[in-house]
Amino acid sequence: MSKSTPEKAKDETSNETLATAVRGPQIRLLIERLSSPRAAEREEARGEIVEFGAPAVPELLTALETANDRGRLEACKALAEIAHPSATPALIKFLEDEHQDLRWVAAEGLLNIGGWAVTPLLLALIDRAWAHTILDGAVHVLRGWSRRIPDPVFERLISAAMHSPEPGVSVPTAAESALAKWREIWNEEAASHRTSIVPGIAPRGDRPWYDRRL
């Protein structure tokens, strides 16, 4: 006799819980290898972590806070390759990191995440533009997104971030305007019942050198 739907759902949940319990230690061991002094070992470990996909994200977020500089950079690269929306707040935070390489990789990750990262980044610019550190990485992301949408949503904001003598004043205003335009696009996407992993933004045509995704 076949199982009823509730019983099947319960079994599937149990199987997923078991699979998660098995994956956790494997992912943590791989993340430890991200701090290895050997580049080949770090590369191999990162590739295996990326294959786990979204289940690896929580452990990678922890590594961003606890690992050494090598491990943090490799963890950020893995998050950029997985490109799961849940990593967005951490990647935005690391646009202000003291290490330039980490800031660059965080920006690449936001480019990969696409539409899900737009509103959080614009809100961060409204709140953090006065600190200026976030601006370089944010401009890189906004330029990349601009090439993938037909609407000139971010042009004024990019100009304010790059050329304004007082970006701490002009960027928040421009970001608020961009956010209003973006929300219109997002709502139109939802109203038309179109689905996309990056709503409002076409899939990325290029890839950073460390990104293995096809």
Q: Are 101 and 69 in contact (CB under 8 A)?
A: no
Judged by average pLDDT, the poorest of 24-28, 43-47, 90-94, 126-130 is 24-28
Per-residue pLDDT for 96 more than 60?
yes
Mean pLDDT of 48-73: 95
Q: Which amino acid is located at 134 in the chain?
A: I
Residue 209's pLDDT is 57
CA distance 214 to 193: 26
**Which tens digits make up the pLDDT trace of 161-172?**
999 999 999 999
CA distances from 12 to 21, 53, 59 (A): 14, 19, 23
- CATH T-level assignment (fold) for domain 1-82: Leucine-rich Repeat Variant (1.25.10)
User: Is 120 buried (19+), middle (13-18) or exposed (0-12) by CB count in 10 A?
Assistant: middle
Residue 34 near residue 50 (C-beta atoms within 8 A): no
pLDDT at 199 over 60: no
How does 185-201 read in b/e, with b if 16+ C-beta sit within 10 Å? beeebeeeeeeeebbbb
Greater pLDDT, 76 or 191: 76
How confident is the model over 102-118, as pLDDT tens digits? Answer: 999 999 999 999 999 99
pLDDT: which is higher, 140 or 2: 140
For CATH 1.25.10, list the domain ranges present in the chain. 1-82
What pLDDT does residue 186 have? 77
Asked if pLDDT for residue 180 goes beyond 90, the answer is yes
Interval 69-77 mean pLDDT: 96
Average pLDDT value over all residues in the chain: 85
Question: Which stretch of 46-50, 172-176, 196-200 has the lowest confidence by average pLDDT?
Answer: 196-200
| DSSP 8-class letter at 2 | P
Which pLDDT value is given to residue 7? 54
User: Can you give the pLDDT at residue 164?
Assistant: 94
Residue 143: predicted pLDDT: 95
